[in-house]
Amino acid sequence: MAPFPNKDSDEVLDKSAIDEELSDLAVDLLLLSQELINTKLKLETLSKAGWMEMAKARYIMGPSSVSVLQLPTQESEKPVCASATLDVSQCQRNSGSVRYNYYSLCPPSSPSEEQTSGSDGIRLRKFDINVLSEDGAAGSKVEKVAAAAAGGSSAGRSSVNDPIRWFGFMPPMPLRQSQNHFKSAVDTVVEIANIQSEIRGVEDRIKFLNRTKKGKMESKVEGSISTQDLEEEKVLSLEPLNIH
Amino acid sequence: MALGRGKLIGVIGDEDTCVGFLLGGIGELNKNRQPNFLVVDKSTSVSDIEDCLKNFIKRDDIDIILINQNIAEMVRHVLDAHTLPVPAILEIPSKDSPYDPNKDSILRRAKGMFSAEDLK
């Protein structure tokens, strides 16, 4: 008795689709692994440049001036807030088959009530009493100036929260350059986290497809065993009985 | 879909690594005055590093943990046991030891995906 042709061709199609997707994912995994290594080597280069500049700053300021002694501790009275924080969202590709987390750095925080203009540290009052006594047009001019200052200060980090301030009020240029290298290193760290997250998503999809493939093969084997039993029964039933 | 905002990057590393990344702006003391970094030196024990790593993993405000690769070797069992996607643990090079892809947990796991049975 011929097997059901449609059922077999559907099963073959599923298996071939799974195998094709597994091949594509294997290539993706290799490419992502290579990208991960390249990005980590980039991080190493940036870190080395940062450490070199840090060593120059230590030479200028003294070895204990740029060390763990300047880092905030639990006993520190001043609040310490990170300026580089993460925004995590979920990402998917390949029609939703591969899902992973996507990290990005949050934009600089909005300026506090104490607005500072650029680098001179002059406070800008929100309301100027003399101007308010004049007509409304001048008042709007003050608002525009305040808004411009807010835009300027939000573009860079507040000098109050800048970690370079832990190392003195007038840090040398090498220390600033070291800070720039490590800010780039933080951006690279986020890239690495995204690649790693994508690798994990691809691995999860590969595991799922392997389990599905294994399940299909097991059900096919069980199906073929039951078909074999039926055929054996038919053969036995057709055998002539030799009574004499 | 946003899962979280304002999450931190933690760092477990030698002095220069911690100073560097804190200069980059990742350092914070939370409301319990707990830092998101640990400076590892010769006097730091393996159990201290382990406890700190486990604490960072448990914290819900840390989504990425940076750890020097040579320090990661000391607590490899904790890294290998961590299978959740968050927080992401990144092995980074230190000043004294360059990055070795053969020791990276992520790459070893990816290599292990290609077993002989799966390729049949």
Q: What is the pLDDT of residues A157-213, one digit of tens each?
A: 455 578 998 898 889 999 999 999 999 999 999 999 999 999 999 999 999 998 888
Distance in angstroms (rounded) separating the CA atoms of residues A208 and A226: 27
Q: Which of A119, A198, A196, A201 is nearest to A155 (CA)?
A: A119
pLDDT digits (tens, 9 = 90+) for B41-100: 999 999 999 999 999 999 999 999 999 999 999 999 999 999 899 999 999 999 988 999
Report the DSSP beta bridge partners of residue A225: none
The token duo for B39 is 């400076």
Contact B107 A37 (CB under 8 A): yes
B22 touches A109 (CB < 8 A) = no
pLDDT digits (tens, 9 = 90+) for A198-213: 999 999 999 999 888 8
Q: What is the pLDDT of residue A45?
A: 96
For residue A92, what are the contacts with CB-CB under 8 A and spacing of at least 6? A98, A99, A100
Contact B24 A182 (CB under 8 A): yes
Angle at A35 between CA B5 and CA A22, to 5 degrees: 95
Q: Is the pLDDT of residue A4 over 60?
A: no
Distance in angstroms (rounded) separating the CA atoms of residues A228 and A216: 18
* Residue scoring higher pLDDT (B1 or A221): A221
Q: Is the pLDDT of residue A141 over 80?
A: no
**Torsional sign, CA A142, A143, A144, A149:** positive
Distance in angstroms (rounded) separating the CA atoms of residues B3 and B65: 17
A58 touches A66 (CB < 8 A) = yes
Distance in angstroms (rounded) separating the CA atoms of residues B47 and A227: 60
Q: A145 falls in which pLDDT band (50, 70, 90)?
A: very low
The token duo for A75 is 């006993």
Chain B touched by A168 (CB under 8 Å):
no
* Residue in A51, A73, A86 closest to B64 by CB: A86
Q: What is the CA radius of gyration of chain A?
A: 34
Interface of A with B in 124-143 (CB under 8 A): none
Interface of A with B in 81-120 (CB under 8 A): 81-90, 100-101, 103, 106
Q: What is the pLDDT of residue A111?
A: 47
Contact B6 A86 (CB under 8 A): yes
All residues of chain A having their beta carbon less than 8 Å from the beta carbon of residue B2 are: 87-89
* Averaged pLDDT, A119-146: 47
Q: A50 falls in which pLDDT band (50, 70, 90)?
A: very high
Q: What is the pLDDT of residue A177?
A: 96
Q: Which of A186, A191, A209 to mutate to test the interface with B (most CBs of B within 10 A)?
A: A186
All residues of chain B having their beta carbon less than 8 Å from the beta carbon of residue A38 are: none
Q: A233 falls in which pLDDT band (50, 70, 90)?
A: low
Q: Which of A40, A103, A51 is nearest to B91 (CA)?
A: A40
DSSP state letters, A30-41: HHHHHHHHHHHH
Interface of A with B in 143-162 (CB under 8 A): 157
B65 touches B56 (CB < 8 A) = yes
Q: Is the pLDDT of residue B34 over 70?
A: yes
Range in A78-92, A97-111, A127-141 the model is least confident about:
A127-141
Residues in chain B: 120
All residues of chain A having their beta carbon less than 8 Å from the beta carbon of residue B36 are: 82
pLDDT digits (tens, 9 = 90+) for A97-130: 888 999 999 876 654 444 444 444 454 455 544 4
Distance in angstroms (rounded) separating the CA atoms of residues A76 and A82: 15
Q: What is the mean pLDDT of chain B?
A: 89
Q: What are phi and psi of B8, to 5 degrees?
A: -105, 160
* Averaged pLDDT, A41-62: 95
Q: Is the pLDDT of residue B1 over 60?
A: no
- What is the Cα A136 distance to its own chain's centre? 48
* Residue in B4, B25, B110 closest to A82 by CB: B25
Give the pairing of strands A116-117 and A122-123: antiparallel
Q: B37 falls in which pLDDT band (50, 70, 90)?
A: very high
* Averaged pLDDT, A70-77: 83
Contact A26 B86 (CB under 8 A): no
State the DSSP code for B29.
Answer: B
* Residue in A36, A41, A51 closest to B107 by CB: A36
All residues of chain B having their beta carbon less than 8 Å from the beta carbon of residue A37 are: 101, 107
Distance in angstroms (rounded) separating the CA atoms of residues B106 and B91: 9
Contact B5 A106 (CB under 8 A): yes
